[in-house]
Structure 1
Amino acid sequence: MTGPVSVAPWEQAAALPPVESGLDRLWRGFANARVVVAALVLMVLGGLYSTLSAVPGPGWLLGGCAAYLVATLAVRAMARPIGRRFDVFWPATIGMDLVAYSALHYLQPVGIGFSPLFALPVLMASVLGSATLAFGTTAAVALLLLADAWLHVLSYPYDLPQRFLQAGLTGMGYFAVAALARQLAVRLVREEQRVHASQEAARLQAQVNELVIATLADGILVVDQGDQVRAANPTACALLGRLGMLPGFSLAGEPNWRPLLELTRRSFESHADQLAEVPLGGAGEAPRRVLVRTRLAAARGGLGLCVVFLEDLREMEARVRTEKLAAMGRMSAAVAHEIRNPLAAITQANALLDEELSDAGQRQLTALVRHNAQRLARIVEDVLNVSRVQQQGLPQSLPVALASAVADTCGDWSRQTDNMQRLRIAVPHAAPVQVLFDTEHLRRVLVNLLDNAARHAAAGPDSIQVAAAGPGAEALLRVWSDGPPLEPTVRSHLFEPFFSSESRSSGLGLYICRELCERHGAQIGYRRAPAPLQPAREGNEFFVQFRFTPARLARGSAADRIQA
């Protein structure tokens, strides 16, 4: 049965970031210590051999010390361990130290004990190597010391107990030092990994905070007591008129920022949060009303920061208006539902009265009542249609034959509204196209677009033109009329609810069309374009871009691959 695999502390630190770690510093310290030890040994032996005339200095031993010094310098300058468990760097480096210190211990004739030098390779193997290398080096040192004691006993038998006891205690001490250094090195690596994990978590949290702040709808500024902006999100830069400008500018740099500057200074002076509505804007811009809230972030023993929240009151008012419109829409739907029953009673009573009247003037009055009742009924129906569209969930989009649906709807509409001369249809039946839409919803969209075109088109023939399944691979419905160009202010509000350029329209038809198209994944828009059947004529065109059915998409992809 195999035990747990021994992993070097250097290998455990491989996951740390590419910066100088504690083990890097330890390696550099051990490398410097080896150079210092080699230089001191060479100086000590050279001095002793030169001063003690009775002891001849062996040149080979001094040469070996010099070679060891050169080797330690080379390792310090060029080598860097990579920390693999079976890397030959560690045994070679530590083995070189053991060989050098053993030669000094056994072969020098001066009688100096060099056994303390063995602590350096033991510590180096324990701190930077694996457990196997650490205890293997310690065992080798202990065996060397025991061998030295045995050789000494061969020459001096009376020293047997003392020499072996000293060698054994020294070896045991080295094993204790190796175990302790090993535990300290492992703890160092563990603490560095924990610090690195904390730094990564803090860095990730900082990135998340920056992302959240950058996407906030409110502006955020971080200002120090020197009036310098330390941080600012894009919304704040836009409110200051400095869109795209990097932080680091001063609030005192623009006269229009003076109210904001005074508010931040007041926060620092009073050590309290501030709330005020101030005019704000960049140079050359009209100031806008901004709601400013300040929050102090005090630092221990240093200057604090002021976090400023900016909220554009125009956007706040726009949101309030949107909520009011939504509430009015719900109320309008309720009122329209209550109006429908009395309106039906008025229409029925007027019809019965019209049957009893014979005077032309009185019948003209009943016709006027009937006309306005029908107009009110259409408005009520439009309001209820908006309510139904908003309350419905996502409808089921089914394949619809676009050409046949457009032809049937246009035919029914032209007969019911007596617009057969004004309407002209261009529907290619040779290449039928299926789109994803609800049949009834498609009919409602087309009828609303035709009603809108009829109100603005001329009375002549071909003033309204409808084309389906346009050129190429598009699934397009085009409703064109020869009316005059729309004003820019009208074009920007075309698809908004209750907006109309006519007093007799509810302004809900195009809004309902947009809602239905978006629910089926289609797009509706307006453009000034030539007539589908008469390119020389310019007019107003509303178009709907549909989604294809999956089968059509598959055929289109296959055709694209064949053409490619």
Structure 2
Amino acid sequence: MAERAAGTPGSPSFLRLWQGFLTARVMVALALLVLLVLGNAVGQASQPGQPLLLACAAAYFLAAVLLRIFGAGAPPPPQPGLHWLPSIGVDVLLIGVLQALQPSGAMNFTPLFGLPLLLASVLGTLTLALGTAAGATLMLLAWAMWPGAGDGATQYLQAALTGTGYFLVAYLAHQLAARLTSEQRVAHLSQVDARTQRAVSALVMQHVDDGVLVLDSAGTVRLANPAALLLLEQEAAAGVPFTLSVRGAWAPVLHLVRETFALQVPQTLDVNIAHEGQSPMALRVRCWPTHTRAAAREADDEPLCVMFLHDLREMQARLRTEKLAAMGRMSAAVAHEIRNPLAAISQAGQLLDEDLTDPGHRRLTALVRQNVERLVRITEDVLDIARVQQVSDRPPAAAVPLDTAVRQIWLDWQAHDPARRRATLALNAPRMSVVFDAEHLRRVLTNLLDNALRYMGPHDDSLCLSTRITPAGRAGLQVWSDGAPLDKSVERHLFEPFFSSESRSSGLGLYICRELCQRHGASIGYQRGTRRLARGEVPGNAFSVLFRSAGPADAAAPFDTMQP
């Protein structure tokens, strides 16, 4: 059997055991030398062979110290070989010499064979251990044959019994060391698996969209992912653990946790969480116990439960997305079929216009042509949004003077309701032109103004429309209003299609704005920030668009960030 008992020579456990045995050899050699010196001091110097015993003990101590100094960092391979001579070979040889030199009836050195025997059994193979036991037994038999050793039969019998004990000790010590090594290897693999599972679980929890909580029976949150902290309105920097309040908005959830522990079965609950100053948040809460109380007692573990928090608004939005996506595909098909009749109407109008001479009739054909062109643009936009991709086959947009276009769009938008549509206009990019389709710019800005109008306050400066030039030379516009802050769950999905905080909204407005901006190389974003007004520092919501500028500014880096 060539099984290794203490792992590979390069393993930390093998190295520690090797160094421990070397230290033990030094201590045994030192104790042996001290005992012989003390014996010599109390009157045994006249005994024959005493100086030679001291010399052997001193040599043994010197050999042990040298091996401890120079061989501690390079343990030998477990297999039998000459590399074990400086340790096991020296021990067996010198202990045998000491036993042979000691006078009859004096000190017995045979127990010292236990040190090399354990060294071979623990750090070597079974073959090395049994070979060491055989060497020690041969030494005992040789000493029994030594002249003057006493009664030969008694000495032979004692050597046989001691040798048998050495073989048994070598075998059992090796088996025990091998078993401990195997258990250590299994424990190490289990630790590696546990660390891997912990890392994978942490990674999954960090990136899963649903909130995940791990709670104990008292409602203390032991572990929470960022989505759960966001729903709980708990700052991630505060960390865990923290306890759900009995009287707060999360009291129904705490009651569900206690019910889960009491019944030891999974529980599900739909609950509305109402935070102060915010609209209620509908959640579906699912709670599972990690194991039963009996299993927890057997495993000596604390019973825990895992809770999943699903935002019902997001679930409903996904369902609406699937339904509206089907409607979008149908709309795209309808729009595709409308293009052919529109082309025929346009061509017929042009032919008719060539034969008409009456100014009134020509005005009618011009009106038909204008509306046909408008319908063509609308169908193309529907097809573009249905494909959810940028259009590459359209001619590049012309450069549009930003301040001039924004002012005209603002005047047209305000003219529909001058009494209500009041705002502060600040145009700070008078010489900047941007690469953007004029009609698409109108749609983007009108959409942002409509959203701001819906949530702005009653003051004259509750809505601010401004343009600016960034330090990198890019032009941008911003629509700011003093509305209430957005829920974190809404902000995360602000520009996704079909997601809206209002049940009657299709959730396409900001998505279309983002698509149109990306189509022209622009970017759009949301920030919550303050603005200095005549009435002081006022917090509000800002939607900023950063354009791809025409002319020299067009060479600006594409990764410039929007400034609030």
Counterpart residue number, 2:114 = 119
- Deviation, structure 1 residue 25: 8.1
Answer yes or no: is 1:107 the counterpart of 2:102: yes
Answer yes or no: is 1:297 the counterpart of 2:290: yes
Counterpart residue number, 1:313 = 312
Sort the Cα spacing of 1:284 and 1:250 in 2 relative to 1 into closer, same or farther, 3 A. farther
Q: Give 1:125-140 correspondences, 5 Å limit.
A: 125-129=120-124, 134=129, 137-138=132-133, 140=135
Answer yes or no: is 1:449 the counterpart of 2:437: yes
Contact 1:131 1:182 in 2 (8 A): yes
Answer yes or no: is 1:334 the counterpart of 2:330: no
Task: Provide the secondary structure at the position in 1 that maps to 2:437.
Answer: helix
Counterpart residue number, 1:84 = 75
Counterpart residue number, 1:440 = none
2:241 corresponds, among 242, 248, 252, to: 248
Superposition RMSD on alpha carbons, in Å?
A: 6.1
Deviations 1:224-248 (A, max 9, x none): 1122212111111111111213222
* Matches of 2:494 and 2:205, distance apart in 1: 34
- Deviation, structure 1 residue 375: 1.4
- Deviation, structure 1 residue 213: 1.2
Deviations 1:167-205 (A, max 9, x none): 467556635643553344334323322321222122111
Counterpart residue number, 1:375 = 374
TM-score (norm 2): 0.58
Answer yes or no: is 1:218 the counterpart of 2:213: no
* Matches of 2:70 and 2:246, distance apart in 1: 55
Task: Provide the secondary structure at the position in 2 that maps to 1:255.
Answer: coil
Contact 1:279 1:288 in 2 (8 A): yes
Contact 2:88 2:120 in 1 (8 A): no
Answer yes or no: is 1:231 the counterpart of 2:219: no
Contact 2:96 2:140 in 1 (8 A): no
User: Which stretch of structure 1 is more off in the superposition, 237-246 or 36-45?
Assistant: 36-45
- Deviation, structure 1 residue 124: 2.8
Task: Provide the secondary structure at the position in 1 that maps to 2:241.
Answer: coil
Q: How many residues align?
A: 448
Deviations 1:378-411 (A, max 9, x none): 212332344567499xx89xxxxxxxx97xx859
Counterpart residue number, 2:488 = none
Sort the Cα spacing of 1:114 and 1:356 in 2 relative to 1 into closer, same or farther, 3 A. closer
Letter paired with 1:241? E
Q: Give 1:139-150 correspondences, 5 Å limit.
A: 140-150=135-145
Letter paired with 2:548? V
Letter paired with 1:128? L
* Matches of 2:495 and 2:180, distance apart in 1: 67
Counterpart residue number, 2:180 = 188
Letter paired with 1:147? A
- Deviation, structure 1 residue 141: 2.2
2:11 corresponds, among 11, 15, 22, to: 15
Contact 2:284 2:311 in 1 (8 A): yes
* Matches of 2:522 and 2:349, distance apart in 1: 43
Sort the Cα spacing of 1:66 and 1:278 in 2 relative to 1 into closer, same or farther, 3 A. farther
- Deviation, structure 1 residue 259: 1.8
- Deviation, structure 1 residue 253: 6.6
Letter paired with 1:84? P
Counterpart residue number, 1:543 = 547
Letter paired with 1:270? L
Q: Give 1:154-553 correspondences, 5 Å limit.
A: 159=152, 167=159, 170-171=162-163, 174-175=166-167, 177-244=169-236, 245-252=238-245, 255-280=248-273, 287-299=280-292, 300-302=295-297, 303-348=302-347, 350=349, 361=360, 363-387=362-386, 390=389, 449-452=437-440, 486=479, 514=517, 516=519, 524=523, 543-544=547-548
- Deviation, structure 1 residue 310: 0.7
Contact 2:514 2:524 in 1 (8 A): no
Sort the Cα spacing of 1:211 and 1:316 in 2 relative to 1 into closer, same or farther, 3 A. same
User: Which stretch of structure 1 is more off in the superposition, 209-218 or 323-332?
Assistant: 323-332
Where does the alignment leave 5 or more consecutive residues of structure 2 unmatched? 409-433, 446-469, 483-490, 499-508, 527-543, 556-564
Deviations 1:525-558 (A, max 9, x none): 699xxxxxxxxxxxx9963399xxxxx9xxxxxx
Sort the Cα spacing of 1:359 and 1:282 in 2 relative to 1 into closer, same or farther, 3 A. closer
- Deviation, structure 1 residue 333: 0.9
Letter paired with 2:337? E
Sort the Cα spacing of 1:214 and 1:314 in 2 relative to 1 into closer, same or farther, 3 A. same
- Deviation, structure 1 residue 101: 6.8
Letter paired with 1:266? E
Sort the Cα spacing of 1:508 and 1:291 in 2 relative to 1 into closer, same or farther, 3 A. closer
- Deviation, structure 1 residue 290: 1.9
Counterpart residue number, 1:436 = none
Sort the Cα spacing of 1:214 and 1:89 in 2 relative to 1 into closer, same or farther, 3 A. farther
Q: Percent identity?
A: 38
